[in-house]
C-alpha cells in the first residue's frame, strides 16, 4: 500500500529570529514528552515535525529566549 | 552469560525503574536511600525533567491524610465506599499510613503546600465523607524538585528509550526489559535483578471527541505500555473493567477542577445553572449522574464560577492557568470564555485505564509486588484505587525500598535468549515493512473502535463486535510500517493500545453486572449483583497464550464498614433534581 502525506497546520511555533539552536541549544527538543520537535540543521532553528502535541507547554516555558509559542491545536480551538 | 549480543547493547543494573514521571523517580530515590551501593537505573521514554502526568506540576494533593483532619482508617473507609467495596484494603492502608510522612518529605524537599497563618497545612473538603484535599498553588516546580533529588542520589538516567517487553529467566523471574531508542531505533537489553514498572496510565485508549489523537486527558506518552508489558510477562491485572472517565472542559483536556474550584465556591451545574450532584469528588457514581445530566434536557453540564467574587476568580485563574494544564487560559481566551461572565461547558473524557483515578491496574500487594517474582508496579499503573499523585509517590517509595531488599538476596537472573531475540525482531519489524499501514492510521482506527464499542453505557453484543474488530487490527499488525525511529515508537505504542483495548473488552464482558456508576454501567446487566460479583476480576495471559479472566476473592476488610456508610456514594444526586433522560 503506497503512502501519502496529509499536510497539517501544527500548534507549536518557533520564532526563527529568537531561536538559538544554531548555538547548540536543544532545550525545547529535550523537554517535549512526545518528542515532536527537532532541529533543522540547515536553518539552525527548532521546528515541530510531528503533529502530536499535548499543548503542555514545557517547550515554551523552558525556552531561554522565549522563542516558542504553543497554540491550541486547530481541531480543539 | 549466553545472551545474543550481536548489535544488541546490554546494560546491567540492580534495580531498573521504567518510567520517570512521578512514582518512578521516587522509587529510584528510595531504593538508593535504602542501599546507596545498589546500581539504580531510571529508564524513560521522554526526558525525566518533564515527563509523565505532572510534567507541568500539580495544583494539589487529592488524598492527603493529615493528623487532625483525617485518619488512615477514615481514608480506607472512604475509598472502600467510593470504589463500591472492591478494594484490597491492605494496599489502601499501606498508602494511608505513609501519606503524612510523604507530605513532610516533599515539604522538606521544597514542594510548596498551602498553609494557614499558624503554619499548619490548609486542608479542604471535597470528598463525600472526609477531608483530604491540600492545595499546592505553587505546585509547578514538582518535577524540578524530583530531578534535583535524582541527581543528589546518583540515580543513573536513560532518556528517550521506549521499553517494549519484559524478559524473564528460566524460573519465571523478571530479568530485565527490551527497549528501543525513539531517535535512533537502537535496541537495548537492560538486565536487572528487580524491575519497577511506573509507566503511568493507559491514556491513549479511547479517542477524544475532537478526533485529535493526542488531546487525551492523560499525558499521551502514557499509552498503556506498562499494562501491556505486565500482561505479556504473565502478571495479573485487576479492575480493568473499572475504566477511568473524567469530567473535563469540553474540547480541552484539562479537568474542570472541582478540587480547586469546589472549596472556593465553584460547582458543577446543569444548563439552568443548578447544582445536581452533592459532591464533586471524582467517582464512578458521580460520573453516572454527570452523564445522565449531560444527556438530559437539562444538559449539557457546566462549570459554574460566575457567581463568585472577583478576588476569588482571579485566584482560581492564577492556579488553573499556571499548573498542571497551563494552556487552559489560552483555550478559554480564544473561545471568549471568562469565568466571570459565563459558565464553561463541560464534557466527559475518553475512556482510559488508570488506577490513580479509578481502579484499573496491575495487581499489587501492600509491598507493591506484582504476581511475577521481582516485578513491582507503582503509580497510575498499579491497582491501588484512587491513589493519585501522592499515592504514586508513596507506592514508588514502597516499591523502591522493597526492591532494594529483594536484590540483596538474589543473583543476576539470565534472560531467556529466545525471548530476547524474538522481541528484537518484533520491535524492528515495522522498519522493515516496505509498504504498509502507518501507525497514525492504525491507532486512529483502533481507538475509534474503542469509542464505538467499549465506551459506557456498555452493551454485551457491542463489546463482542469490538473484539472482532480488534482481532482484525491484530492481523493487520504485520503491515504496520514505520518510516523513522519516531514512527517506530508510535508503532510499538499501537501494540500496547491494542492489548489494553482487548483487556478492557474482556474484563467488561466477564463482569456481568453494573458497578462503579458509569465506569462499568452495563445496559444489559443494570443491577449491582453482590451475591456473584463482590470480587476482583483479574486479567492474565493464560498458559495457552490467550487472554483469560477469573475472580480473585476480596481479602477480609481490616477496616469494617457499617451498612449506612456503604451507601454513601450511592446517593450523589441532589434529592430535588431528577434527570430528564
The answer to the question of residue A38 being in a domain is yes
Across chain B, mean pLDDT equals 94
A3 has pLDDT over 70: yes
Q: Is residue A61 part of a domain?
A: yes
Q: Is B370 exposed, middle or buried (0-12, 13-18, 19+ CB in 10 A)?
A: buried
Please tell me chain B's helix, strand, coil percentages from 3-state DSSP, rounded to the nearest 5: 40, 15, 45
**Torsion angle in degrees (nearest 10) through CA of B571, B275, B287, B206:** 170
Span B124-135, pLDDT tens digits: 888 888 899 999
Domain annotation for chain B: domains and CATH numbers: 9-243+353-417 (3.50.50.60), 251-348 (3.90.700.10), 418-531 (1.20.58.100)
List the single range of B92-101, B149-158, B261-270, B388-397 with lowest mean pLDDT. B261-270
Task: Reply yes or no: is the peptide bond before residue B300 cis, omega within 30 of 0.
Answer: yes
Close Cβ partners of B86 (under 8 Å, ≥ 6 residues apart): B239, B242, B359, B385, B515, B516, B534, B535, B536, B554
Q: For A75, which of B212, B216, B483 is closest by C-beta distance?
A: B212
Domain presence at residue A1 = no
Residue A50, chain B, CB below 8 Å: the answer is yes
pLDDT digits (tens, 9 = 90+) for B489-544: 999 999 999 999 999 999 999 999 999 999 999 999 999 999 999 999 999 999 99
Average pLDDT over residues B395-420: 97
Q: What pLDDT shows up at residue B576?
A: 63
Chain A, chain B: beta-carbon pairs less than 8 Å apart: 91
User: To 10 degrees, the CA torsion angle through B119, B124, B127, B133?
Assistant: -50
Please, which pLDDT band fits residue B572 given cuts at 50, 70 and 90? confident
Q: Does residue A49 belong to any structural domain of this protein?
A: yes
A2, part of any domain: no
Percent of chain B's residues with pLDDT above 70: 98
- Work out the average pLDDT over B432-439: 93
Is ipTM over 0.95? Answer: yes
Confidence of residue B6 (pLDDT cuts 50, 70, 90): low
User: Residue A54 maps to which CATH number?
Assistant: 3.30.70.20
Chain B partners of A31 at a C-beta cutoff of 8 Å? 47, 49-50
Interface test with B, best of A28, A48, A51, A72 (most B CBs within 10 A): A72
- CB-based contact, A15 to chain B, within 8 Å: no
pLDDT of residue B2: 38
The domain of A58 spans 12-72
Taking residues B300-327, what's their average pLDDT?
90
Q: Do B331 and A57 touch (CB under 8 A)?
A: no
Which DSSP string corresponds to B192-255? -SEEEE----B-SSSPPTT--TT--SS-TT-BSHHHHHHHHTT--EE-TTS-B--EEETTS-SB
Q: Where are the strands (E) in B251-291, listed by range?
A: 267-269
* pLDDT, position B515: 97
CB-based contact, A34 to chain B, within 8 Å = yes
Q: Do A35 and B436 touch (CB under 8 A)?
A: no
The pTM of this model reads 0.96
Query: Per the CB < 8 Å rule, is A31 touching B49?
Result: yes
User: How many domains in chain A?
Assistant: 1
Question: Which residues in chain A have their CB less than 8 angstroms from residue B254's CB?
Answer: none
Centroid of chain to Cα B66? 24
Distance in Å, alpha carbon of B336 to nearest chain A alpha carbon: 11
With contacts defined as CB-CB under 8 Å, which chain B residues touch A77? 251, 331, 334-335
Contact A33 B334 (CB under 8 A): no
Amino acid at each position: 500500500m503506497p503512502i501519502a502525506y496529509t499536510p497539517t497546520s501544527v500548534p507549536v511555533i518557533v520564532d526563527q529570529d529568537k531561536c538559538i539552536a544554531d548555538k547548540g541549544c536543544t532545550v525545547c527538543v529535550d523537554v517535549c514528552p512526545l518528542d515532536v520537535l527537532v532541529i533543522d540543521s540547515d536553518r539552525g532553528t527548532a521546528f515541530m515535525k510531528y503533529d502530536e502535541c499535548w499543548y503542555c507547554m514545557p517547550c515554551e516555558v523552558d525556552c531561554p529566549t522565549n522563542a516558542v509559542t504553543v497554540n491550541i491545536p486547530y481541531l480543539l480551538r | 552469560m549466553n545472551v545474543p549480543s550481536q548489535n544488541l547493547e546490554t546494560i546491567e543494573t540492580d534495580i531498573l525503574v521504567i518510567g520517570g514521571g512521578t512514582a518512578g523517580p521516587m522509587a529510584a530515590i528510595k531504593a538508593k536511600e535504602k542501599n546507596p551501593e545498589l546500581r539504580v537505573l531510571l529508564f524513560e521514554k521522554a526526558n525525566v525533567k518533564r515527563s509523565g502526568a505532572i510534567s507541568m506540576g500539580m495544583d494539589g494533593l487529592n488524598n492527603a491524610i493529615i493528623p487532625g483532619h483525617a485518619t488512615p482508617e477514615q481514608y480506607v473507609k472512604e475509598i472502600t465506599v467510593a470504589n463500591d467495596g472492591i478494594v484490597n484494603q491492605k494496599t489502601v492502608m499501606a498508602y494511608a499510613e505513609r501519606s503524612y510522612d510523604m507530605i513532610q518529605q516533599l515539604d522538606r524537599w521544597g514542594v510548596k503546600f498551602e498553609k494557614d497563618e499558624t503554619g499548619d497545612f490548609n486542608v479542604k473538603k471535597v470528598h463525600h465523607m472526609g477531608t483530604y484535599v491540600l492545595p499546592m498553588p505553587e505546585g509547578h516546580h514538582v518535577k524540578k524538585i524530583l530531578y534535583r533529588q535524582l541527581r543528589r542520589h546518583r540515580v543513573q538516567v536513560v532518556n528517550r528509550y521506549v521499553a517494549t517487553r519484559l524478559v524473564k529467566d528460566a524460573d519465571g523471574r523478571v530479568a530485565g526489559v527490551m527497549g528501543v531508542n525513539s531517535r535512533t531505533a537502537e535496541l537495548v537489553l537492560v538486565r536487572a535483578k528487580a524491575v519497577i514498572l511506573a509507566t503511568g496510565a493507559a491514556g491513549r485508549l479511547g479517542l477524544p471527541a475532537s478526533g485529535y489523537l493526542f488531546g487525551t486527558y492523560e499525558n499521551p506518552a502514557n499509552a498503556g505500555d506498562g499494562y501491556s508489558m505486565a500482561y505479556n510477562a504473565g502478571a495479573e491485572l485487576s479492575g480493568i473493567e473499572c475504566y477511568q472517565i473524567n469530567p473535563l472542559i469540553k474540547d480541552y483536556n484539562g479537568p474542570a477542577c472541582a478540587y480547586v474550584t469546589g472549596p472556593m465556591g465553584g460547582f458543577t451545574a446543569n444548563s439552568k445553572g443548578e447544582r445536581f450532584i452533592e459532591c464533586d469528588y471524582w467517582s464512578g457514581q458521580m460520573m453516572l449522574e454527570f452523564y445522565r445530566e449531560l444527556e438530559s434536557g437539562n444538559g449539557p453540564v457546566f462549570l459554574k464560577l460566575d457567581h463568585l467574587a472577583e478576588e476569588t476568580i482571579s485566584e482560581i485563574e492564577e492556579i488553573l492557568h499556571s499548573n498542571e494544564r497551563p494552556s487552559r487560559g489560552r483555550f478559554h481566551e480564544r473561545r471568549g470564555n471568562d469565568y466571570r461572565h459565563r459558565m464553561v461547558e463541560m464534557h466527559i473524557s475518553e475512556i482510559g485505564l488508570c488506577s490513580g483515578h479509578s481502579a484499573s491496574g496491575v495487581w499489587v500487594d501492600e509491598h507493591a509486588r506484582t504476581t511475577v517474582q521481582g516485578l513491582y508496579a507503582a503509580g497510575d499503573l498499579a491497582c491501588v484505587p484512587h491513589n493519585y499523585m501522592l499515592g504514586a509517590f508513596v507506592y514508588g517509595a514502597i516499591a523502591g525500598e522493597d526492591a532494594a531488599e529483594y536484590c540483596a538476596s538474589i543473583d543476576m537472573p539470565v534472560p531467556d535468549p529466545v525471548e530476547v531475540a524474538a522481541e528484537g525482531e518484533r520491535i524492528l519489524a515495522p522498519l522493515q515493512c516496505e509498504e504498509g499501514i502507518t501507525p497514525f492510521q492504525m491507532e486512529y482506527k483502533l481507538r475509534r473502535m474503542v469509542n464505538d464499542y467499549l465506551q459506557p453505557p456498555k452493551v454485551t453484543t457491542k463489546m463482542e463486535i469490538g473484539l472482532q474488530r480488534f482481532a482484525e487490527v491484530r492481523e493487520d499488525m504485520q503491515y504496520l510500517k514505520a518510516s523513522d525511529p519516531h514512527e517506530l515508537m508510535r508503532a510499538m505504542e499501537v501494540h500496547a493500545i491494542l492489548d489494553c483495548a482487548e483487556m478492557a473488552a474482556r474484563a467488561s464482558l466477564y463482569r456481568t453486572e453494573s458497578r462503579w456508576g458509569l465506569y462499568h454501567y452495563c445496559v444489559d446487566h443494570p443491577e449491582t449483583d453482590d451475591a456473584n460479583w463482590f470480587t476482583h476480576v483479574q486479567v492474565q495471559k493464560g498458559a495457552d497464550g490467550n487472554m483469560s479472566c477469573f475472580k480473585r476473592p476480596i481479602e477480609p476488610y481490616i477496616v469494617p464498614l457499617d451498612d449506612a456508610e456503604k451507601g454513601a456514594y450511592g446517593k450523589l444526586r441532589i434529592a430535588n433534581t431528577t434527570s430528564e433522560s
